[in-house]
Structure 1
Amino acid sequence: MKKQSFIIRYSKALAATALVSMALVCSVPSSAAASEAKRAEQRELFRKAEYAAKRGRLAEYRRLLTQLDGYPLKPYLELERLQQVGYLANEQRVLSFLEQYEGTPLDWQLRRPWLTYLASQGEEQRFIRDFRHPGTLTHRCQLIAAERNQGLADAPFIKKVDAIWKHGFSVPTACNSILNEWADLGARTTDKVWQRISLAANGGNPTLIPYLTGLLPENLRYLGDLYHKVRYSPAAIYSDRRWRGVDQKREAEIAAFGLQKLIWANENLALKAFDKLSQKLPFNREQRQQIAAEFAVALSLKDHPEARVWHQRVPPSALDERTLQWRLATYLRDRDFSNLKRAIQSLPAAIAGGAQWRYWLARASQLSGDELGANEIYSELAKERNYYGFLASARLGKPVSLEREPIDVSLMELEQVRNHPSAQRAYEFIQLGRFVDARREWNHLLTELDGEAHKAAALLASEWEWHDQAIWTLAQIGHFDAINIRFPMAYGQLLTDSSNKVGIDPTWAMAITRRESAFRADAYSSAGARGLMQILPSTARRLRNDNISYRQLHRPEVNVDLGTYYLSRLQNRFDQNHVLATASYNAGYYKVLDWLPQSPTPADEWIEQIPYYETRDYVKAVMTYQQIYYLLHENQGNLFETLEAMKIQPSYD
């Protein structure tokens, strides 16, 4: 499909009229389609037709199909049938369908089984004709094999198989034949084997290393064995007998890898190992920078006296967000504001201009006695709508900035997006409660739209009360000023009633929900958390003293009842300190107990020293979102004044 252009402009007067008219726009996805009542009837017919297709009730299926002309999801019924019938006998129907819906979510749901079928039948020419990138790894290997059989020359064959080989994980068995031929051509060099060993050790599957080690020349196999040993036991790098000196360049790679792991397990041994190995092995510049950065972060987190030494070894060109964060934490932990100020002033301008560094430059200036300089920075920062801007406003005793910019799109732009086939299919899947299918269609829609039309798409999703996609769509184009769309009052009554019942601030519960799921009731995480407030089943069991199913956790009223109650318990355990309760909601109660300071510490300093970057960012985001919701609820005042005056205590009994 060709990308459609949706950039249509009106005069200001007409645009204003269109914007006023938006509130009157019916939420039916196409103005030319049947009435909503007719659509509701078609949805029921679609459910029945889909069921009939899956059960092979062809007469019933065909009868229902005649009543679904013009219904956006009708192609999915054809897809269901094509997935069930004999393929070559229906090749023209398959090809016609793939051509019509190429690039859409419908395409791959048929193309994948079609390609698998062609490969199983040895239909190489058809496979080559119908393959589309990227495909699965299995299909890519089958494509290369088919092309090779059809005359692909050695050089392009080797190049294509090189890309398959470059994986830190095992490859499908369908790749074995081309990998064997590739090796027979002499393309499996020592460097390529070593590259894959490195990928397997660094984030891949380390159990692959022994097999790959057997592919190395005999005199280098000790390197593979050593990499495998260090991957599981980094202290092995300290043993002199392991370094044979046969290939010092690769030994240095293993040592650098091991040092970056050992520093977390045993910092004193790691420091001694570095001193010894740096004299024995030729670490290159990149390896030394990586070691310095990892040592700086790990030693800062462990409050080791040599942390600053290692921070100074990280050159400006190698600074990243993680290293900078722990450089800041080290100065804050030492309360060394004079050196913190100098360190920030020495940062590259692109980094020092960030809100975080401007705030801490102001704080360092203030605590070093430069009140005037601090206030000048605070005044500029207070104009911004973010965590540090709100903190700066609190330091000045001023109201926070909440600049808003409504989305400016014409009614015609909105209707053009609404009438896009993927938008119509997404809407219907929403009505059917099939949100995975809806998101798949929505993601395709966004690839079809020009940048400006994303604003109309976000407005449309908001109109449908599909808040997570409205928020995500605006984030994709960096449009952060449409506050009412980015911070909707979704589930407002439910969150307010549940919060009031357990005695917590409803804006806090709303901020937590916005951060956890963006108001996506069917949200789930890799850790198993579910629903609006991302409740773990184990947490639900503790709170209810009963088993709670996944299905129940996806029910908003159950999820919010559990989430608000859990927040109230955490807040009570921390003597009504909602900052610590927020951190606990993300990281766990006992983790936060471990992070409590040894002496009373200003809350803004403590937050910057939270060891988990996810929890650190989470707390900042929730505090920011709560302030925004507080103002959107027509409240006045800066909640950050409480945060600015807060001290985190060593214990909460």
Structure 2
Amino acid sequence: MKFSAALFGLLMAGTALAQEGSDAAFLIARDAFRAGDINKLERAAAQLGRHELTPYVDNYRLRMWMEQGDPGAIRAFLERQDGSYVAEKLRADWIRWLGKRFAWNEIDAQYPKLLAPEADVTCYAQQARLARDDRRALDEAARLWLTQLEPPEACVPVNEALLFSGRVGVDDLWQRARRQIEANKTGAAKTTLGYLADSQAPDSRSLDAALGNGMGYLFRQSADWYATRAGRELAAIAVQRIATSDPRAAAEQLEKLQPRLQDGESRWAWSQIALQAARKHLPEAVDWYARAGDAPLSEEGHQWKVRAALRAQEWGIVHRAIDAMPPELAGRPEWIYWLGRAHKAGGRTSQADALFAKIAGQPNFYGNLADEELGRAVLPPPKAEAPTYEEQRAARETPGLKRALAFFRLDMRTEAVREWNWALRDMDDRQLLAAAQLAKGNQIWDRAINTADRTKKEHDYSLRFLAPYGDTVRPAAQNQALDDAWVYGLMRQESRFISSAKSNVGASGLMQLMPATAKWVARKIGLRDYHHGRVNDTQTNVLLGTSYMRLVMENLDNHPVLASAAYNAGPNRARKWRAERPLEGAIYAETIPFSETRDYVKKVMSNAVYYSALFNGRPDSLKARLGVVGARVADAPKDADLP
């Protein structure tokens, strides 16, 4: 027995060393590919052995040899790796390469085999179809005219073909340019207007002036500015630019200009003033939207029209504004819920309940609220049976998951997540639960959560709402007199429990602390010898994060909705977003101006309901947690320097 144990230990050590060597060879191959060193890549490939990531090295080699024009080798690889993420990416890269060389026949053969084509690759396929005079490609391009506002370079020939076909006229060009300007894509708007005939196009210097300094442009415009469409459109654009910073000043200017504008131009300008006013929570937004009349609205414009009416408690306008949305937009859970609330406010309870029933049971903010409107408790569904041994073995042997785990082992998280998510395509609930369990077993908490989130009928909410680091988090929450369900709900949204997580703005750790915030809290609580190198230490991060949560709560009426908004966007903004009168918590959340923070607060609050139910074994109420957000006050906060 002793000999067998020793032999087993030696075998394991040998396996680990072999894996280390293969991992090193893969990293050398990857670096060689990035450096364009084909000889080094070939040497590393020869040392790779039977590594999980061998297909990636084969992909690197094929991409480097693509210029040699060996389509047979590429086709053979794509056939061998059919359906895999690495094949999908190689096929897409090959189509890009082929498109730049006008190899339309090969693109026609390869494009239908893509499972999730990206926009530029789709445009190369459309170019190929146009080359054989398939005009249906123009129908597809026309449907994207007002939504694909900053098209990839590959889409330019398709859009130009659309223009030259006569399907896009002067009105369409101006409408697209308006949408691009609303989205602050001014360079794309200039490109769009460049397609106008010289006699109809605005002068480039005047366009730059209107986009760059709207007020200055209006003061300096010529006396006969209204004589041409271009002159009137530029005046409306200048008003839009003023509105981004000062909607009231923009409204004052538009009142002066309106007699000289045509209806479509003035209504668009009013819609832009209304949109910016709604985002700034100005009470005039509802009236300005009314002055916009039937001006075509972007998705943002439609949604902020409803939000402005919600803040004003104008339920009739809420109803009409949602009815006016495009069907796909109106079918989102938030607008189904608020339309139900509008019906309920008007005494139409049966219509309201029918709408609530459409989204009730969905494990999200508005599904929770709809459940409560129907008198149903929000509870996790019955727990699915644990994955069997065979199901777990199948998960371990799934090639895509094996490649993802290898990437995680190499600390290549971006590649790992892409490979993992691709492997989940077409999995049924049992396979998803087994994959989630595999992730949990490897302490890859974010993939466990996201994978369990995908199940349709069989669920395991202990995986969807994992609660790792319990020995650290729950005592810290208790020490700060915080609801541990809320703390976990926030952490789940902040980092998905990735202790090394770092955001693109520099926030770190489980609770995603900004350097200045962490330093301020450490000083506030008297944490000695703190330096930023400690921020990813689990205990330090949780101590600082929960301490900050308590301080934010104390400074914001002890209201978790305000505190959640403050944790993401800062306490000053959370205060500023309150209304002049008390506001239902759900309306406060829906009308947060920052889309990231709006989504964040909803998810944190819904997460907390499920964590509470799992921790305590009884239903919780989202409506009770949301409560009422108090009116805006002028009193100075307790900690004026709270970051």
Shift of 1:492: 2.8
Corresponding residue number in structure 2 for 1:206: 186
For residues 584-615 of structure 1, what are the alpha-carbon distances to aligned partners after superposition, in whole Å with 9 as ceiling and x for unaligned?
A: 11111222333455566665665565444543
Separation of aligned partners in 1, 2:619 and 2:208 = 58
Separation of aligned partners in 2, 1:328 and 1:441 = 42
- Whether the aligned pair in 2 keeps the contact of 1:362 and 1:377 (CA below 8 Å) is no
3-state SS of 1:591 partner: helix
Give the letter aligned to residue 568 of structure 1. Answer: R
Corresponding residue number in structure 2 for 1:26: none
Corresponding residue number in structure 1 for 2:472: 494
Residue among 419, 423, 430 paired with 1:441:
419
Shift of 1:327: 0.3
Residue among 387, 393, 402 paired with 2:379:
402
- Whether the aligned pair in 2 keeps the contact of 1:515 and 1:621 (CA below 8 Å) is yes
Corresponding residue number in structure 2 for 1:267: 247
**1:74 aligned onto 2:54:** yes
3-state SS of 2:22 partner: helix
Distance change (3 Å), C-alpha of 1:58 and 1:381: closer
Distance change (3 Å), C-alpha of 1:524 and 1:226: farther
What aligned pairs does 1:2-13 form with structure 2 within 5 A after superposition? none
Separation of aligned partners in 2, 1:447 and 1:392 = 30
Residue among 44, 50, 75 paired with 2:26:
50
Residue among 233, 241, 260 paired with 2:222:
241
Corresponding residue number in structure 2 for 1:20: none
- Whether the aligned pair in 2 keeps the contact of 1:523 and 1:530 (CA below 8 Å) is yes
Distance change (3 Å), C-alpha of 1:57 and 1:259: closer
**1:590 aligned onto 2:535:** no
Aligned-residue identity in percent: 22
Distance change (3 Å), C-alpha of 1:218 and 1:266: same
**1:580 aligned onto 2:556:** no
Separation of aligned partners in 1, 2:335 and 2:196 = 49
Distance change (3 Å), C-alpha of 1:363 and 1:585: farther
Corresponding residue number in structure 2 for 1:533: 511
- Whether the aligned pair in 1 keeps the contact of 2:407 and 2:413 (CA below 8 Å) is yes
**1:429 aligned onto 2:407:** yes
Corresponding residue number in structure 1 for 2:274: 295
**1:88 aligned onto 2:68:** yes
Distance change (3 Å), C-alpha of 1:377 and 1:51: closer
Corresponding residue number in structure 2 for 1:230: 210
Name whichever of 484-493 and 610-619 sits farther off.
610-619
Corresponding residue number in structure 2 for 1:548: 532
**1:515 aligned onto 2:493:** yes
Separation of aligned partners in 2, 1:290 and 1:124 = 45
What aligned pairs does 1:129-528 form with structure 2 within 5 A after superposition? 201-203=181-183, 205-207=185-187, 217-222=197-202, 224-235=204-215, 236=217, 241=222, 244=225, 247-248=228-229, 254=234, 257-275=237-255, 277-284=257-264, 288=267, 291-292=270-271, 295=274, 298=277, 301-305=280-284, 307-308=286-287, 310-311=289-290, 320-331=302-313, 340=315, 348=323, 354-356=336-338, 358=340, 387=365, 400-407=377-384, 411=388, 416=394, 418-447=396-425, 449=427, 457-458=435-436, 460-462=438-440, 464-473=442-451, 482-521=460-499, 523-528=501-506
Separation of aligned partners in 1, 2:28 and 2:356 = 66
Separation of aligned partners in 2, 1:482 and 1:342 = 41
Corresponding residue number in structure 2 for 1:566: 548
Shift of 1:288: 3.5
Distance change (3 Å), C-alpha of 1:556 and 1:434: farther
Give the letter aligned to residue 569 of structure 1. Answer: L
Separation of aligned partners in 2, 1:570 and 1:230 = 42
3-state SS of 1:443 partner: helix
Separation of aligned partners in 1, 2:302 and 2:595 = 13
Shift of 1:83: 6.2
Q: Pairwise CA RMSD of aligned residues?
A: 5.9
Distance change (3 Å), C-alpha of 1:154 and 1:202: farther
3-state SS of 2:466 partner: coil
For residues 272-308 of structure 1, what are the alpha-carbon distances to aligned partners after superposition, in whole Å with 9 as ceiling and x for unaligned?
A: 44445554333449x8478447516615844445734
Shift of 1:329: 0.4
Distance change (3 Å), C-alpha of 1:380 and 1:194: closer
For residues 392-450 of structure 1, what are the alpha-carbon distances to aligned partners after superposition, in whole Å with 9 as ceiling and x for unaligned?
A: 99999x99431414346974666555533212222333344332222121232234546
Separation of aligned partners in 2, 1:436 and 1:58 = 22
Shift of 1:510: 0.8
Give the letter aligned to residue 48 of structure 1. Answer: A
Give the letter aligned to residue 601 of structure 2. Answer: V
Separation of aligned partners in 2, 1:389 and 1:450 = 23
Shift of 1:618: 3.1
Give the letter aligned to residue 325 of structure 1. Answer: R
- Whether the aligned pair in 2 keeps the contact of 1:87 and 1:94 (CA below 8 Å) is no
For residues 499-548 of structure 1, what are the alpha-carbon distances to aligned partners after superposition, in whole Å with 9 as ceiling and x for unaligned?
A: 34545333222111112233344545444434432333443344457763
Separation of aligned partners in 1, 2:629 and 2:175 = 51
Separation of aligned partners in 1, 2:458 and 2:478 = 30
Separation of aligned partners in 1, 2:354 and 2:199 = 65
TM-score by length of 2: 0.68
3-state SS of 2:467 partner: coil
Corresponding residue number in structure 2 for 1:16: none
Distance change (3 Å), C-alpha of 1:627 and 1:115: closer
- Whether the aligned pair in 2 keeps the contact of 1:522 and 1:532 (CA below 8 Å) is yes
Distance change (3 Å), C-alpha of 1:630 and 1:244: same
Separation of aligned partners in 2, 1:626 and 1:598 = 28
3-state SS of 2:575 partner: helix
Separation of aligned partners in 2, 1:637 and 1:182 = 58
For residues 55-86 of structure 1, what are the alpha-carbon distances to aligned partners after superposition, in whole Å with 9 as ceiling and x for unaligned?
A: 777998577544x3xx4333334445666779
Distance change (3 Å), C-alpha of 1:362 and 1:110: closer
Shift of 1:459: 5.5
Separation of aligned partners in 2, 1:91 and 1:392 = 55
TM-score by length of 1: 0.67
Give the letter aligned to residue 490 of structure 1. Answer: P
Shift of 1:271: 3.0
Give the letter aligned to residue 46 of structure 1. Answer: S
Separation of aligned partners in 2, 1:454 and 1:212 = 45
Separation of aligned partners in 2, 1:143 and 1:341 = 44
3-state SS of 1:625 partner: helix
Separation of aligned partners in 1, 2:86 and 2:562 = 47
Corresponding residue number in structure 1 for 2:77: 97
Give the letter aligned to residue 378 of structure 2. Answer: S
Separation of aligned partners in 1, 2:367 and 2:202 = 55
Shift of 1:582: 1.8
